[in-house]
DNA sequence: CAATAAAGTGCAGTAAGTTGCACATTTCTC
DNA sequence: GAGAAATGTGCAACTTACTGCACTTTATTG
């Protein structure tokens, strides 16, 4: 899962919840500009920022071992 | 999953693979100091850095919807 | 299609992550 | 338990992310 996929997941989820980037940025407490960059995959956010956004959207992330099955 | 848990996952995996922090930092191409901070949960790395470390360890991460089931 | 809202961009200042160094502490190994 | 290896810390420089602003482009709505 790369930055673009992450951005898309976030964007999809935000749209599903029917909120704007502006609204989400205010809910999360990060700059609108940062959120835009995250969603477009152009940014390189810190874990804290990513966590905040995911959390606000009812999302979370897990670490997994890459398996061959 | 918070930064401490992430750090622990990484540390556990690294030890499982029997490599030192020094070695892993060289494999990944990041500073030893950064890796130490990531493993201890003190750092706040960018996605790029986290991805590099996870990838080198044969790990990956997924975004999931938080469910009530 | 005109008006408005939403999304996206370049830029520059501010805040924060990254790194190596020198050193301290903990953990192995004999 | 001495010596060595691995892990961890404070610090300062260097680099990069974060943010708001002014503006452009792309939906959306009447």
Q: Which helix (H) or strand (E) holds B59?
A: strand B59-65
The residues, ordered by sequence, that sit 6+ positions from A68 with a Cβ below 8 Å of its Cβ are: none
The predicted-structure confidence for A15-59, as pLDDT tens digits, reads as follows 999 999 999 999 999 999 999 999 999 999 999 999 999 999 999
pLDDT at B67: 86
What's phi and psi for A26, nearest 5 deg? -75, -40
In chain B the first and final C-alpha atoms are separated, in Å, by 17
CB contact at 8 A, B64 and A62 = yes
pTM confidence score: 0.93
Contact B21, A19 (CB under 8 A): no
| DSSP assignment letter at A41 | T
pLDDT tens sequence across B2-54: 999 999 999 999 999 999 999 999 999 999 999 999 999 999 999 999 999 99
CA of B13 and C1' of C27: distance in angstroms? 18
Size of interface A-B (CB pairs under 8 A): 70
Q: Any idea which nucleotide's C1' is nearest the CA of B22?
A: D6
Closest approach of A25 to chain B, Cα-based (Å): 19
């Amino acid at each position: 899962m790369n930055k673009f996929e992450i951005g898309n997941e976030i964007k999809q989820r935000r749209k599903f919840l029917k909120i704007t980037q502006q609204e989400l940025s205010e809910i999360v407490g990060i700059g609108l500009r940062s959120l835009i960059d995250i969603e477009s995959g152009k940014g390189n956010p810190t874990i804290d920022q990513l966590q905040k956004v995911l959390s606000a959207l009812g999302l979370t992330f897990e670490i997994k071992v890459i398996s061959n099955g």
